[in-house]
Chains A and B, each alone.
Chain A
Amino acid sequence: MTAADWTAVILTAQLAGTSTLVLLLIGTPMAWWLARTRSPLKPLAAAVVTLPLVLPPTVVGFYLLLLMGPQGPVGVATEALGLGRLPFTFGGLVVASVLCSLPFVVQPLLQAFEAIPEQTLEAAATLRAGPLDRFFSVVLPLARPGLLTATVLGFAHTVGEFGVVLMIGGNIEGSTRVLSVALYDHVEAADFAAAHRLAAGMVVFAVVVVAAMYAVNRRPRETDTEARA
């Protein structure tokens, strides 16, 4: 593989890693809220979170571009805060990836959280555990399989994202040219050997990660001592 290809691989790993971290940080409270709320806003919130699943990534990318552009409200805000403009930067890519991968992280978490019986949480409350304590000592350990699935799906989906990356990030080496774009370039240039190296690599990566996820989730993970939050 060429140095440019390796740059794309490293950039992709950085993007997916950063996005997954951000996704877990915002997706976990979001899923927890969705799982427990009785608010009338729940269906609307659930729809917004699921929207990136049904919309073409290019549509999401297009509106993000407008929002984050010099005339868009987000663009005006970022410039006022001294962050500069987001489109065609790594930061912009992270924002776009997080938005597109959100359903892949929130859905498994939501299912895992909903499967936890209310009685188990109430038992924890009667055993002197406060709300945050309950979340870390009961909810997260019981939702571990869902958490792992969310992490893997979030990471893998970000690696595979193409449409929104092209709209927001463009094709700048070392900054926004990720694997999927680099692969597209190779195919455009009819360099099928180079395309194969990237494509086959991604297939192997996907199989290994997903198989590992199922293997880990199948084993009942239980701990003998409870980790204090």
Chain B
Amino acid sequence: MTGAAPSTARNPLRAPLGAPLGAPLRAQLRTQRGAFLLDVSLELPGQGVSALFGPSGCGKTTVLRALAGLYRAAGQVALGDEVWQDDTRGLWTPTHQRALGYVIQEAALFPHLSVSANLQYGLRRAAAAPQRAVLQHALDEVIELLGIGALLARRPTTLSGGERQRVAIARALATRPQLLLMDEPLAALDARRKAELLPYLARLQRSLCIPIVYVSHSLDEVVQLADHLVLMEAGKVLASGPLAQTLARVDLALALGEQAGVVLQAVVAERDAGWHLLRLDVAGVVLPLWVRDGGQAIGQAVRLRVLARDVSLATAPQPDSSIGNQWAGTLEAVADDGHASSVLVRVCVGAQGPAGSDSGSGSGSGVAVLARLTRRSCQHLGLQVGQVVWVQVKTVALLD
């Protein structure tokens, strides 16, 4: 039985670039529980990882459960042309007829079944016998991708937390879902297991061509995995957009607090073996950024994170500074920060020619960097929107 899902011939794994995108996810959900009101409207891309990010209790998990049909909120849920819920037309598809995969913090493997039987559980229900071979082939690839081939005969109770989570992910993918929902899949793991599982998730994100909705309260995970960011607070969506653009918005700094900062795409351009440094070229523009050599290959694409608190500004180049990474840029915006003493400043760097004074960030004419300054410094330097400033980047975190 293929359930309510239209059976598509394409394999969701290893999709070549330019393959048809997965279906975009649209949802409007509203529910009231005591004093808590959840009221969200989502439109998520049909490919890549969309992160639902926000503090505990902001309603991210409720949204995910409502998308899966495990919780009934009022509203609509549709994946592409397939309507899973539409209260105005009285439509409701129960969870087991939605072509989705769902992974939660606790893995929730079936303790009475072996790893292999856990993986087969969904596969057998998702496809009639003649089509199982296709799914089995896809599952074999997932098993290899997640490195769980050696665990197949084991019992779930004998697995480590990280192994269990990998099996749960493979089990969810075995049904060849059109949508993968993940609710804090790393939250129950200690730092070491987390570090062990993250590369698998990153690999997964690159090889699946279905949308993944990833719930997390850890911005570290989000910036590492997500392509699209939905920022939630107290049952509302504060912002929704491409990760890099959304993080570069100065008006969201309040919600992100200490974690405010931008994510940049870069390519490893040069290795200085003598000083154990790598030169990265950021976002296509030649912005040299020297970072600690982590063994990355020349030409490798990396994602890096620059926190606002690690960026300082100067009105002239600082040849005497210990900070080697200095870029000229145009000051684009100044906004209030969480504390009265500080402001958040957005600077567009690497632009060829004069940058638009208040254009969107990273739109081909350079990339945006956020800096956290004291209000006093801001005034002392006489910083004005449109002014040319030098950005000094003290620390960056390489994410892959």
Contacts and interface: CB of A to CB of B under 8 A. Distances in A.
A167 to B, nearest CB: 43
Of all A-B residue pairs in the complex, the 8 with the closest CB atoms, nearest first, are A127-B122, A128-B125, A126-B102, A125-B95, A123-B108, A119-B108, A141-B112, A125-B96
Interface of B: 1, 3, 68-70, 94-98, 100-102, 104, 106, 108-114, 117, 120-122, 124-126, 155, 168, 171-172, 175
Given A128-B122, A128-B175, A129-B125, A120 B110 contact: yes
17 contacts: A122-B70, A124-B121, A125-B70, A126-B96, A126-B98, A126-B100, A127-B121, A128-B3, A128-B122, A128-B125, A130-B94, A138-B110, A138-B112, A222-B155, A223-B113, A223-B117, A226-B121
A170 to B, nearest CB: 46
Nearest to A223: B112
A188 interface: no
A130 B1 CA distance: 12
Contacts, number: 83
Given A129-B121, A133-B125, 6 more contacts: A126-B98, A126-B122, A127-B126, A128-B126, A138-B110, A221-B112
Contacts of B3: 128
Contact of B121 (A119, A137, A223, A224): A137
B21 to A, nearest CB: 23
Nearest to A140: B112
B345 to A, nearest CB: 45
Nearest to B155: A222
A120 B171 CA distance: 13
Interface in A127-169: 127-130, 133, 137-138, 141-142
A125 B317 CA distance: 61
A127 B135 CA distance: 14
Given A127-B175, A223-B112, A119 B106 contact: yes
Contacts of B113: 222-224, 226
A126 B97 CA distance: 8
B172 A126 contact: yes
Nearest to B117: A226
Contacts of B68: 126
Contacts of A2: none
A137 B113 CA distance: 10
B170 to A, nearest CB: 12
Given A127-B171, A225-B117, A120 B95 contact: no
A156 to B, nearest CB: 26
Contacts of A117: 106, 108
B108 A224 contact: no
Given A125-B70, A137-B121, A226-B113, A130 B108 contact: no
A14 to B, nearest CB: 34
Interface centre among A126, A133, A221, A228 (most CB of B within 10 A): A126
Contacts of A123: 102, 104, 108-110, 168
Contacts of A124: 110, 121
Contacts of B104: 119, 123
Given A128-B3, A226-B117, A226-B120, A122 B108 contact: yes
A228 B113 CA distance: 13
Contacts of A126: 68, 70, 95-96, 98, 100-102, 122, 172
Nearest to B1: A128
B99 to A, nearest CB: 9
A126 to B, nearest CB: 4
Contacts of B95: 122, 125-126
Contacts of B100: 126
A110 B69 CA distance: 26
